[in-house]
Amino acid sequence: MEIAYLNSPIGSLKVQGDTQGVTAITFMDDNHPETTVIPEVLEDAVRQLKEYFKKERTTFSFLQNPQGTDFQKKVWEELREIPFGKTTTYLDMAKQLGDPKVIRAAASANGRNPISIAIPCHRVIGSDGALTGYAGGLHRKQWLLEHESPVTQGTLF
């Protein structure tokens, strides 16, 4: 398993993977020095993440290999369908999966997403529009949604 650290506007990211693909992108609570020599198997992911943070990329094409149950993988595939700059609700996601009763299971799978940002679990919000649960912290979820928003908030003064 190869590891690279990337500094981003919302903290350090740990990128892990091997020849089968990226297995995890995790927010670090402490600032970790950025990796200067990126392992070859992680080069695409790191480059694409840097482009995303510079607003030069809206989709990810690097090889991904998240580990989880079949249901979790189904949820994560559904998350990939949420367009950049858009959000969905946990209930709508459960309906997309074919059964509104799986809302809690879908929310749980969403929270176990190992590949932050590229599998955009931050784009799922509560039915009332509230920012609910995000493993990376609600401040990061808010930042990511604002970063992807087509509307730029101006200053009043």
State the chain's maximal CA–CA distance in angstroms. Answer: 51
Write down the pLDDT at residue 74.
Answer: 96
Residue 156's pLDDT band (boundaries 50, 70, 90)? very low
DSSP 64: B
Does the 2-53 domain belong in CATH 3.30.450? no
Active-site annotation holder among 4, 38, 121, 124: 121
Tokens representing residue 132 in the block: 């609910």
The pTM assigned to this predicted structure is 0.92
Write down the pLDDT at residue 150.
Answer: 81
Catalytic (active site) residue 91 = no
Q: Is the pLDDT of residue 157 over 70?
A: no
Interval 2-25 mean pLDDT:
97
Q: Which CATH number fits domain 70-148: 1.10.10.10, 3.30.70.2740, 1.10.3720.10, 2.102.10.10?
A: 1.10.10.10
- Reported as a single tens digit per residue, the pLDDT across 103-131 is 999 999 999 999 999 999 999 998 888 88
Query: Does residue 20 sit in helix, strand or coil?
Result: coil
Write down the pLDDT at residue 133.
Answer: 78
- Reported as a single tens digit per residue, the pLDDT across 16-45 is 999 999 999 999 988 889 999 999 999 999
- Reported as a single tens digit per residue, the pLDDT across 58-109 is 999 999 999 999 999 999 999 999 999 999 999 999 999 998 899 999 999 9
- Contact between 4 and 43 under an 8 Å Cβ cutoff? The reply is no
Write down the pLDDT at residue 155.
Answer: 52
Q: Which residue ranges make up each domain of the chain?
A: 2-53, 70-148
Query: Which amino acid appears at position 102 of this protein?
Result: V
Residue 48's pLDDT band (boundaries 50, 70, 90)? very high
- Does this chain's domain 2-53 share its CATH topology with 70-148? no
Per DSSP (E only), the strands in 58-155 are 88-89, 124-125
